[in-house]
Amino acid sequence: MEGETTKETLETTQTVDNRAVKVLKPNDAPPPSDDDINYELSSAELKRQFHDQQQKTEQNSVLSTKEWKERNKKVAQYDKVTIRFRFPDRLEIESVFNPDDTLDIMTQFLKDQVLSRPEIPFYLFLTPPLQRIIAGKSLKALGLIPKAIIHFAYEKGHTNVTEYIKPGLVEQAQEKTPSQPVVAQTENKTQEDKPATEKKRVPLPSWLQKKKK
């Protein structure tokens, strides 16, 4: 019985070094263009990102002590982070990390357990806007809690390579579980659900009708 349970588990996940790896097939959305995948930031865009980050830092600095405590308390509730690595071929690798894990840990995880060509240099990024994940920052510091999608791309000069995930993992790819649609509840929606009743037309008195004639 125990052997059957283990076999069933391996049909959906691959466990290496005590880390479960789930492979997800792409959905029906159109694939991203090469420009979106192999995108090099211009100096103007780097400057804009630096400016945006500077503004964000200034905004964060004016947060009250109470707000900071509430934010940290909320983040502290999560002891794990679910990350989906999305590849250019639209396959996704899902695994669980600690909030304090950094780029180095994610990079090593991909090299050891996922990539078919780990010797090829690559980078991880977030979008939109495109922003490379830099070394040293934890998932918690990046605000990627409790779950996030991180994109994968080969470095310039290797973008013609189309091999990403180990064949053994690709064979285990499974369909994504459809998420429930979010229905926004608004005041207008409430009013639409309860249509206003039409005002009944009250006939004029006979004496007033004669007067109008």
Residue 102 has pLDDT above 80, yes or no: yes
**Per the structure block, which two tokens stand in for 168?**
């053994």
Mean pLDDT throughout 5-19?
Answer: 47
DSSP state of 120: S
What confidence tier does 94 reach under pLDDT thresholds 50, 70, 90? very high
∠ CA 25-28-31, rounded to 5°: 85
Mean pLDDT over the full length of the chain: 74
Buried b (16+ CB within 10 A) or exposed e, 45-67: eeeeeeeeeeeeeeeeeeeeeee
Q: Among the listed ranges 32-36, 82-86, 92-96, which one has the minimum average pLDDT value? A: 32-36
CA dist 175 and 19 (Å) reads 20
Q: Among the listed ranges 22-31, 65-74, 99-108, 141-150, which one has the minimum average pLDDT value? A: 65-74
CA dist 89 and 26 (Å) reads 8
**Percentage, residues of the chain above pLDDT 70:** 53
The pTM is what? 0.60
User: Residues 145-160: pLDDT tens digits?
Assistant: 999 999 999 999 998 9
CA distances 167 to 108, 145, 151, 156, 164, Å, are 19, 30, 20, 24, 9
CATH topology of domain 13-170: Ubiquitin-like (UB roll) (3.10.20)
Q: Which residues pair with 21 in a beta bridge?
A: 14
